[in-house]
């Protein structure tokens, strides 16, 4: 093989070929800007339909941090913060984008990347019961990621319970679906797009990590929940002049089951790798059923793997062990999985 194996992440290649083909087909047709074109309109309809949310507002932004910062700033008032797992992407790896927008991330301790309805309820209720709450940051919304940063999943029952806690307290629920295709395609998953549309106030369907060149589809199931969101997107530097480029990509992803196919490819590859890892006696510290697999290895194994395959360093453990991440994607081919399994 001319190149080293890459299992670093799910954004290591370009786009699913069907997307490039569609961009080429439509390339020279003129259309108006800023997402007012017919491709984008069609993409919106396809997403509304996939979500069973015919009235949903749908917007296409370019990346995850941008989407999180824009949605969170749109949902909160200045004195409100967003509840998230202490391992949530917004808590750790967005370089202060949420704070740049003026908001505190109110963290809850995670378990395998997840937070619970009970934890959320306690934080919110504890705030209102605190005699000093008028001097504190009010919890104004909840942020989850599905799958989480650890590749784990909220079950429908868990999501329903969290949604109930949020609705009882009139606190919007937002789900970051940067890798949503890999949740949807996972046999263990029982949260479908219409469930997200029913249970969340806003969520986004990831494109960048799920086969697009870039792009995230923000879905606001109840039309009009965020007035002037177009302008908010523009003000946050998140509005594409050639909005059609995002629209065409999502139109393609939601045509002929492509988004499902992309997820399925990654999950099948991950499942084969997981089986091999277990067979070979590897330690998998997190039971993640999606396209991210975490292994804990000793120094010798680490050194050996590093020579043959690109993986993500995750963290150093005591006693000379290291956690590494193996990620599959829409682009993972069977031959690469075979090669990886031989190496392991």
Instruction: List the interface residues with a second copy, window 181-220 (CB under 8 A).
Output: 208-209, 213-214
Give exposure, 54-64, as e/b (b: 16+ Cβ within 10 Å): eebbbbbbbbb
Residues 240-279 that bind a second copy (CB under 8 A): 240-242, 244-245
With CB under 8 A as the contact rule, the residue among 56, 58, 60, 73 that binds a second copy is: 73
Question: For a second copy, how many residues bind (rule: CB under 8 A)?
Answer: 77
Tell me how far, at minimum, the Cβ of 56 lies from a second copy, in Å: 19
Q: Which is nearer to a second copy, 103 or 110 (CB)?
A: 103
- How far apart, in whole angstroms, are the C-alpha atoms of residue 52 and residue 45? 10
Q: Does 301 bind a second copy (CB under 8 A)?
A: no
CB 324 within 8 A of CB 312: yes
Q: Which is nearer to a second copy, 62 or 264 (CB)?
A: 62
CA 205 to each of CA 37, 68, 334: distance values in angstroms, whole numbers, following the listed order? 20, 12, 26
Tell me how far, at minimum, the Cβ of 317 lies from a second copy, in Å: 14
Q: Which is nearer to a second copy, 98 or 199 (CB)?
A: 98
Q: Which is nearer to a second copy, 24 or 280 (CB)?
A: 24
- How far apart, in whole angstroms, are the C-alpha atoms of residue 175 and residue 143? 6
CB 208 within 8 A of CB 178: yes
Q: Does 15 bind a second copy (CB under 8 A)?
A: yes
With CB under 8 A as the contact rule, the residue among 48, 56, 57, 70 that binds a second copy is: 70
Tell me how far, at minimum, the Cβ of 129 lies from a second copy, in Å: 9
CB 265 within 8 A of CB 327: no
Q: Which is nearer to a second copy, 110 or 209 (CB)?
A: 209
**What is the spatial order of strands in the sheet that 312-316 belongs to?**
292-298, 321-327, 312-316
Q: Does 235 bind a second copy (CB under 8 A)?
A: yes
With CB under 8 A as the contact rule, the residue among 194, 237, 257, 320 that binds a second copy is: 237
CB 246 within 8 A of CB 83: no
Tell me how far, at minimum, the Cβ of 109 lies from a second copy, in Å: 12
Q: Does 222 bind a second copy (CB under 8 A)?
A: no
- How far apart, in whole angstroms, are the C-alpha atoms of residue 59 and residue 164? 26
- How far apart, in whole angstroms, are the C-alpha atoms of residue 293 and residue 290? 8
Q: Does 317 bind a second copy (CB under 8 A)?
A: no
DSSP bridge pairs for 312: 325
Q: Does 95 bind a second copy (CB under 8 A)?
A: yes
With CB under 8 A as the contact rule, the residue among 46, 50, 64, 262 that binds a second copy is: 64
DSSP one-letter string for 4-60: PEE-S-S-SS---HHHHHHHHHHTT----STT-SHHHHHHHHHHHHHTT-TT-EEEE
Q: Which is nearer to a second copy, 24 or 319 (CB)?
A: 24
Residues 108-167 that bind a second copy (CB under 8 A): 131-132, 134-138
Cα-Cα end-to-end distance for the chain: 17
Q: Which is nearer to a second copy, 279 or 335 (CB)?
A: 335
Q: Does 285 bind a second copy (CB under 8 A)?
A: no
What kind and span of H or E run contains 139? Answer: strand 138-145
Q: Does 41 bind a second copy (CB under 8 A)?
A: no
Q: Which is nearer to a second copy, 29 or 157 (CB)?
A: 29
With CB under 8 A as the contact rule, the residue among 42, 65, 321, 339 that binds a second copy is: 65
Please give the angle made by the CA atoms of 57, 78 and 218, to the nearest 5 degrees.
20
Q: Does 234 bind a second copy (CB under 8 A)?
A: yes
Closest CA to 145 of 201, 189, 183: 183
With CB under 8 A as the contact rule, the residue among 66, 255, 301, 308 that binds a second copy is: 66
């Amino acid at each position: 093989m001319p190149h080293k194996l890459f299992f670093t992440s799910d954004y290591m290649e370009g786009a699913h070929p069907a997307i490039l083909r569609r961009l080429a087909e439509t390339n020279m047709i003129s259309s108006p800007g800023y997402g007012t074109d017919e491709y984008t309109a069609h993409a919106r309809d396809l997403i509304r339909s996939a979500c069973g949310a015919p009235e949903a507002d749908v917007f296409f932004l370019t990346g995850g941090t941008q989407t999180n910062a824009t949605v969170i700033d749109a949902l909160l008032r200045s004195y409100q913060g967003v509840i998230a797992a202490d391992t949530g992407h917004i808590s750790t790896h967005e370089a202060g984008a949420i704070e740049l927008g003026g908001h505190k991330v109110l963290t809850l301790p995670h378990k395998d990347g997840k937070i619970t309805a009970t934890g959320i309820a306690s934080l919110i209720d504890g705030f209102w019961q605190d005699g000093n709450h008028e001097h504190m940051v009010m919890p104004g919304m909840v942020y989850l990621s599905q799958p989480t940063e650890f590749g784990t999943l909220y079950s429908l029952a868990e999501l329903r319970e969290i949604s109930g806690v949020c609705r009882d307290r009139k606190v919007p629920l937002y789900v970051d679906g940067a890798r949503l295709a890999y949740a949807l395609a996972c046999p263990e998953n029982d949260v479908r797009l219409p469930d997200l549309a029913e249970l969340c106030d806003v969520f986004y369907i990831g494109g960048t990590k799920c086969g697009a060149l870039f792009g995230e589809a923000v879905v606001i199931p109840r039309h009009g929940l965020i007035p002037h969101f177009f302008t908010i997107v523009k003000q946050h530097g998140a509005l594409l002049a050639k909005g059609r480029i995002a629209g065409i990509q999502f139109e393609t992803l939601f045509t002929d089951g492509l988004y499902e196919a992309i997820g399925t490819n990654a999950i099948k590859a991950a499942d084969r790798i997981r089986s091999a890892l277990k067979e070979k006696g590897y330690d998998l510290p997190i039971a993640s059923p999606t396209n991210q697999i975490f292994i804990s290895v000793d120094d010798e194994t680490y050194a050996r793997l590093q020579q043959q395959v690109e993986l993500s360093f995750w963290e150093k453990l005591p006693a000379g062990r290291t956690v590494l991440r193996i990620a599959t994607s829409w682009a993972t081919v069977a031959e690469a999985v075979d090669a990886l399994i031989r190496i392991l």
